């Protein structure tokens, strides 16, 4: 019986030793994936960094503690912000950030590997930088004209602020940039005023062109009428001269006939009306009969 108990005790001791050896070996050997980096700390103090993927060795726990970090891009969606741009328009802006950890040593030394604390730092820097840049920029430049330049500037400013904890912003972009409802109405009214101003300028230019054309047309019409009147007076004068010439020739040929003609013309001027009739008598005298 003693031998049986002795053998069982020996087996248990061997088993415990084997478990301890396994645990020590397991805590000494570890592997890193392609997207992982790690830092070893000895009693709270930094020992070394592991930057390459594959199998590695360290001192067993509790002499060294290993902290892993995921170096893949991390997504952070910022909260909606209301920012006043350069021309005093209020803008609703929300954005997102893609960032990664570059150095496990600084990451765990400065923020203890706490992701919430790291995100808080990212939010502090990026939000303040977005507000600073947008506040010095006009609405049109934020939306279209200089959008990418502004984003690049914000990213550079944020990286300078996050450099001490080994976080790097890889990409930042706006999800939405728009005006609040009350600002939309004000901008719409400003647009209407601008369009009315432009249309008034076009109308004024059109009226000026119309007046110029009208003045030139009036001048041409007056010139044409004056020329026509001058030609008419010339023609009338020539006709009167021709008439007098014919009358003179007629008077020269028959003074008696010309005297009758003069009487007729005199009576025409004296007796005006449609009901007047003229009768020629044999004595060549004219008598009006009403």
* pLDDT at site 6: 57
* pLDDT at site 29: 78
At 83, list the tokens.
Answer: 């920012």
At 132, list the tokens.
Answer: 């600073």
The answer for residues whose C-beta is within 8 angstroms of residue 206's C-beta and 6 or more apart is none
Write the pLDDT tens digit of every residue in 216-274. Answer: 888 888 888 888 888 888 888 888 888 777 777 777 776 676 777 777 777 776 666 55
Write the pLDDT tens digit of every residue in 48-70. Answer: 888 888 788 777 777 788 888 88
**In contact, 177 and 95? CB cutoff 8 Å:** no
* pLDDT at site 12: 65
Residue 280 pairs with which residues in a beta bridge?
286
- Chain Cα centroid distance, residue 68: 46
What's the average pLDDT block by block, 10 residues per block, for the chain (290 residues)? 54 63 64 84 80 80 80 89 84 90 84 84 91 88 86 92 88 85 68 85 87 87 88 86 78 71 72 60 50
Half-sphere exposure for 197 (CA within 13 Å, toward CB): 6
* pLDDT at site 185: 66
* pLDDT at site 182: 63
Q: Which segments of the chain does DSSP mark as H helices, in order?
A: 2-28, 104-111, 115-135, 139-140, 147-162, 181-253, 255-270
């Amino acid at each position: 019986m003693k031998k049986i108990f002795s053998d069982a005790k020996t087996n248990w001791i061997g088993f415990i030793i084997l478990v301890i050896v396994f645990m020590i070996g397991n805590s000494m050997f570890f592997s890193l994936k392609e997207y992982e980096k790690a830092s070893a700390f000895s009693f709270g103090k930094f020992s070394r960094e592991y930057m390459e993927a594959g199998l590695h060795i360290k001192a067993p726990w509790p002499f060294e503690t290993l902290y892993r970090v995921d170096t893949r891009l991390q997504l952070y969606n910022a909260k909606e912000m209301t920012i006043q741009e350069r021309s005093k328009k209020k803008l609703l802006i929300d954005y997102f950030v893609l960032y990664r950890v570059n150095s496990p040593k600084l990451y765990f030394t400065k923020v203890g590997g706490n992701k919430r604390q790291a995100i808080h730092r990212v939010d502090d820097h990026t939000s303040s930088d977005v507000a600073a840049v947008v506040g010095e920029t006009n609405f049109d430049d934020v939306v279209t004209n200089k959008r990418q330049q502004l984003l690049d500037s914000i990213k550079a400013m944020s990286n300078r602020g996050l450099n001490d904890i080994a976080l790097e912003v890889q990409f930042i972009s706006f999800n939405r940039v728009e005006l609040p409802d009350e600002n939309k109405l004000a901008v719409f009214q400003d647009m209407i005023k601008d369009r009315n101003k432009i249309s008034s300028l076009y109308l004024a230019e059109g009226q000026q062109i119309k007046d110029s054309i009208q003045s030139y047309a009036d001048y041409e019409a007056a010139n044409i009428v004056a020329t026509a009147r001058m030609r008419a007076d010339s023609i009338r004068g020539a006709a009167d001269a021709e008439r007098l010439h014919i009358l003179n020739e007629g008077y020269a040929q028959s003074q008696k006939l010309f005297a009758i003609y003069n009487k007729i013309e005199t009576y025409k001027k004296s007796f005006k009306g449609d009901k007047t009739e003229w009768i020629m008598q044999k004595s060549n005298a004219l008598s009006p009969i009403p």
